Structure 1
Amino acid sequence: MTTNVAVLGTGTMGRGMARSLVRAGFAVTVWNRTSARADELRSDGVRVAAEPAAAVADADVVVTMLFDEDAVRAVAQEALPAMRPGAVWVQSATVGPTGARRLAELAAAHGVATIDAPVLGTRKPAEDGTLVVLASGPVDAGSVAQPVLDAIGSRTVWAGSAPGEASALKLAANAWVATLTAGTAQSLALADALGVDPRLFLSAIRGTATDSQYAHVKGEAMLTGALEPQFALDGLRKDLGLIRDEARAVGAPLPVVPAVLAAYDAAADVVGGDKDIAGVVAAFRPRLAGLGKEGSRA
């Protein structure tokens, strides 16, 4: 029997996840607040629902991929009462561990089991079904959700059995992504400011113990001004705010995070928050600080 999956939120990540689920043989229904984004998926064999409740009515697994906790909560309040008995909610938005626990409590009040399942990866891995899924939740619900996680990801890293554990791991991973991206921008900008071809920095680290494929991918985007969003600045800024707040709540000193967040804030003011996080270079490199809203050199 075909498993029915509902995907609520068909932005940059949700669209790719829905397509990956169709390729894996699931019957997929989607909903998105901006209906045009959902309508794009009709040609992929996806059914489009007008309301969250209609999208989840026949679903065995419901996946949410929305911007933040407030957006997820607003949609969940419509969807949860309409979910059928035994259906599992896979919550993939980055909401932080505290947010994940609050959402799990909301689901429990409606008798719905939740898997906390944020993902690592950007638009292309979402389209290719090669995300890394970070998951935590009850074993029984995990068994129901696992085929769906297998369809959207290349592997699943189980962080535990409680909501919030996977989201905590996601924040640790995104702190690394934010720092590495900003560090790459800083080094390219410094080389340029000192009169050295910044591409030589990428050449110098290639193959060394400090090399990173990610630095080359984002570094090339920074040097060419290719800022079509794979991971938008506004999304990472939101995540860095979660990291800062969660760290403060447990008394963990993270002196790098405020500085990195300030750099992304400054870059968003120049290139626009909807541009890729490679745009953080605008905060470090005066000669690229004129990148226009379209991400081209001034």
Structure 2
Amino acid sequence: MSLLIGYVGLGNMGGPIFTNLVNYAASNNLPAPCAWNIVKARYEELRPRCPGAVFCDELEEVVMRSNVVFTCLLNDPVAEEVYERLFAAVRENKGKDKVVFVDQSSLKPRTSRKLEAAAHQVRASYLAAPVFGRPDAAQAATLVQVLGGENAAKELIKPLIVSAIARRVVDAGEDVAKGSALKLLGNSLILGVVEMLAETYALTDAIGFDPEVYQNFIRDFFPLYPYIAYGDNISIGNFSRPEGFRLEAGLKDARNILSLGEDFGRPLNLPTIELAKQHLERAQELCGNDVDWSALSVAVRERAGMEPFRQLAQP
């Protein structure tokens, strides 16, 4: 069948992904994709980069216009609310092609299973499809795309994803919960790195070690993106970079990681993630939500008896 692409949720990640999908459709003689976002002002920001795209007034219009619908939503309650409306729209339009929903949100595994079951009730497909990468990687179409769910739906969209969204696809199997779980497992590693960077940078200040020298050491011996990007933030005390991972999203993921074992019937104590969650909660009180999650370092400094904000902090 011809791909009719829709997108729901045009935030820091969804916006550049949708832009790439519009370009893909134009290059492959496909109909122009459509999109919906709760904040309509976002449409005017994206319209110049998305020639021909249809920006919908109503969420349900996306289902009317599409047979492959991507979503990128803030959290589990929002996802459940949005999908309830999307599935209702599918039910009301029984004569159209089967719709494949590709959910790029980072959700609890049990939420993904719930949404898949609801999709099947309206004869639609649902894939847990979270991504790894920051907004700059989304813009460059170099994300790592996870896919969990039924194989037929995955095979349908893989060519689209590797052309327009990701440098690599990781197939997590037919259980949608495993797709969501892989995202949380990966983010737990990244959060552990951020926590350790925050602690060691507090230690460099405590002993009077030059943070620039330490960051150059990290660049040489740990040349991986999380170490470099988040180390850069912490070394200068600047957490306002727009390309970062928002603290609010990081705190949501930290809580979901802590309940991941329980979701699979095996509760597990995760002391590093629990400590990082506490630091994120305190950083939220000190900085608000509109900062990168590496701002947890201000809470680490405070707990160590230091001034939370380094003197080298930049506006």
TM-score (norm 2): 0.87
Does 2:181 correspond to 1:162?
no
- Give the AA of the match of 2:42: R
Shift in Å, 1:202: 2.1
Aligned partner of residue 155 in structure 1, secondary structure: strand
Partner of 2:292: 276
- Residue 198 (structure 2) aligned to one of 185, 191, 194: 185
**Distance in 1 (alpha carbons) for counterparts of 2:309 and 2:84:** 43
Contact 2:34/2:65 (<8 A) preserved: no
Aligned partner of residue 34 in structure 1, secondary structure: coil
Aligned partner of residue 63 in structure 1, secondary structure: strand
Matched residues, percent identical?
Answer: 26
- Residue 279 (structure 2) aligned to one of 263, 267, 271: 263
Q: After superposition, where does 1:7-156 map in structure 2 within 5 Å?
A: 7-25=7-25, 27-43=32-48, 44-45=50-51, 46-83=53-90, 84-150=96-162, 151-156=164-169
Q: Which runs of 5+ in 2 are unaligned?
A: 91-95
Moved more, 112-121 or 272-281: 272-281
Contact 1:271/1:291 (<8 A) preserved: no
**Distance in 2 (alpha carbons) for counterparts of 1:16 and 1:237:** 23
Does 2:258 correspond to 1:244?
yes
> CA, structure 1 residues 213+71, in 2 after alignment: closer, same or farther (shift >3 Å)?
closer
> CA, structure 1 residues 248+115, in 2 after alignment: closer, same or farther (shift >3 Å)?
closer
**Distance in 2 (alpha carbons) for counterparts of 1:124 and 1:198:** 26
**Distance in 2 (alpha carbons) for counterparts of 1:235 and 1:23:** 28
Shift in Å, 1:263: 1.0
Aligned residue pairs: how many? Answer: 295
- Give the AA of the match of 1:267: A
Contact 2:279/2:296 (<8 A) preserved: yes
Shift in Å, 1:39: 3.2
Aligned partner of residue 126 in structure 2, secondary structure: strand
- Give the AA of the match of 1:289: P
Shift in Å, 1:288: 5.8
Partner of 1:5: 5
Contact 2:116/2:126 (<8 A) preserved: yes
- Give the AA of the match of 2:11: G
Contact 2:112/2:128 (<8 A) preserved: yes
Deviation digits for residues 111-170 of structure 1, max 9, x if unmatched? 111111011011111111111011111111112222332211111000101211111111
Deviation digits for residues 7-57 of structure 1, max 9, x if unmatched? 100011110110111122252211011111133222222210011111221
**Distance in 1 (alpha carbons) for counterparts of 2:20 and 2:184:** 25
Contact 2:172/2:178 (<8 A) preserved: yes
Moved more, 273-282 or 115-124: 273-282
**Distance in 2 (alpha carbons) for counterparts of 1:288 and 1:115:** 45
Deviation digits for residues 183-205 of structure 1, max 9, x if unmatched? 11211121012111122222334
**Distance in 1 (alpha carbons) for counterparts of 2:71 and 2:112:** 12
Q: Which runs of 5+ in 1 are unaligned?
A: none
Moved more, 269-278 or 280-289: 280-289
**Distance in 1 (alpha carbons) for counterparts of 2:78 and 2:160:** 22
Contact 2:218/2:227 (<8 A) preserved: no
Partner of 1:289: 308
**Distance in 2 (alpha carbons) for counterparts of 1:120 and 1:36:** 27
**Distance in 2 (alpha carbons) for counterparts of 1:81 and 1:276:** 36
Moved more, 39-48 or 182-191: 39-48
**Distance in 2 (alpha carbons) for counterparts of 1:12 and 1:97:** 23
Contact 1:291/1:297 (<8 A) preserved: no
> CA, structure 1 residues 141+70, in 2 after alignment: closer, same or farther (shift >3 Å)?
same
The 4+ residue runs of structure 1 with deviation greater than 6 A are: none
Deviation digits for residues 260-295 of structure 1, max 9, x if unmatched? 101111112112112111212211235662479xx9
TM-score (norm 1): 0.92
Deviation digits for residues 202-260 of structure 1, max 9, x if unmatched? 2334433x553421221112233142242100001001111111224422232221111
